[in-house]
Structure 1
């Protein structure tokens, strides 16, 4: 499929202000998509939109807190008002978990991780799916994690949320196939983003190194390497792909 064949199509990217979200916004725009970069950090979303524009793409920015269902409803409504349609969505907004044993989590810490990383995806789907049903189809990609496929010492809340995203993706895909809507998940491994290497990182240097030692390709991934998978899943090139979870993890889950 040539990039020109998706001219005029519109995609939402949550968590679009940095990391994988920003890389995906840029990747979609490079293939001709109009992108709505949504993030709780409005300035970061606006910077993504600026970068897309500087690369001759089309983008707008929205402030969205995915833990608020009303924010997700407004995100979809504003996208339809501004652009007239919604063809794809990358539900990517997320936070790192707390590096704590299960019994050491407070209820508030547990709930915060679930609210953003799992319920946030649900809120987005709840409003994206009807918009796509009305226009006869679309594609959705949810960000899970390799921690949605395996366990991690000291990562119970994060693992629970990301396992939930994988299950939610499968169920929603089965529900929406006849509506022409494909729903998949991407499961990144160790990516060079603030969540992995910045101040908010869940992994210590020791744990991160141990994880990379299990990989076939022993380096951190660039956000663009995950974005390429998401762009493909959003495109008609993946027209027969739904209900699947794709690892982008250098072989960690194969070890």
Structure 2
């Protein structure tokens, strides 16, 4: 499905990043992982670069080293909740927009010129099912992921003529160790598995999804 395609994954050191890298390689891709962690060689990737995606210049410099790019998975991001929308002392607003929106924009700005050199390309973003509407004590996260989803639609409209399809997956709760620790009484069997979400992302990056543009695809897990 991704035979010999060069896939770049941001947030590659995280649970979803590792699952996406493993799945993409399973489908024949050459995977480059990007993350801020200085881990040396990372599992499930063919090449790894430590880069601060909040630094636009550093991000462009990193992508310039990659040569060909066929697909970008914008996985870098994070979650926070608990503060109200009217809390003057909260730093969640700035932080959620930095790690979810600014990282995506910087990686995308660096990747698009490389994608435009190819016959086709793909960008897959991570929205959030829970951000389709505002929720109490989650305003910063919901607004940031809402921006990711609107950016996905805008980028799709801008890049469709270049045969670059831009889409986003909207997972519910992803079954990670951090989420299990944070919600120990939940029914984990209903959550989205990282591997299952990665499967959808790989399809969206494949030639088979070449006619899908600007889709926001809910991934709800098992009932």
TM-score by length of 2: 0.91
In the alignment, structure 1 residue 95 sits paired with structure 2 residue 90: no
C-alpha separation between the residues in 2 aligned to 1:116 and 1:148? 16
Q: Secondary structure at the match of 1:79?
A: coil
Could you say which residue in structure 1 is the equivalent of 2:219?
248
The gaps in structure 2 that reach 5 residues or longer are: none
The CA distance in 1 between the partners of 2:120 and 2:31, in whole Å, is: 18
Which of these residues, 53, 57, 65, is aligned with residue 52 of structure 2?
A: 65
Secondary structure of the structure 2 residue equivalent to 1:103: coil
Runs of 4+ in 1 over 6 A off after TM superposition: none
Secondary structure, aligned partner of 1:96? coil
Indicate the structure with greater helix content.
1
Give the match's secondary structure for 2:83.
coil
Residue in 1 that maps onto 2:179: 196
Q: What secondary structure, in the 3-state scheme, does the structure 1 residue paired with 2:41 have?
A: helix
CA distance in 1, matches of 2:221, 2:197: 11
Residue 16 of structure 1 and its aligned partner are, at CA, apart by 0.8
Aligned to 1:235: 206
In the alignment, which residue of structure 1 is the partner of 2:27?
31
Equivalent runs, 1:3-152 vs 2, <5 Å: 3=1, 6-43=2-39, 46-48=41-43, 51-52=44-45, 59-80=46-67, 85-104=68-87, 106=89, 108-152=91-135
Give me the whole-angstrom Cα distance separating, in 2, the residues matched to 1:162 and 1:120: 12
Q: What 5-or-longer segments of structure 1 have no aligned partner?
A: 53-58
Tell whether the 8 Å contact from 2:192 to 2:222 is kept in structure 1 after alignment: no
How far apart are the structure 2 equivalents of 1:8 and 1:244? 25
Question: 1:23–1:223: 8 Å Cα contact kept in structure 2?
Answer: yes
Corresponding pairs, count: 223
1:33 and 1:243 map into 2 onto residues whose CA distance is 23
- How far apart, in 2, do the equivalents of 1:196 and 1:69 lie? 30
2:83 and 2:90 in contact (8 A); partners too: no
| Residue aligned with 1:135, SS | coil
CA separation in 2, counterparts of 1:68 and 1:140? Answer: 20
TM-score by length of 1: 0.80
CA 1:225/1:112 → structure 2, altered by over 3 Å: closer, same or farther? Answer: same
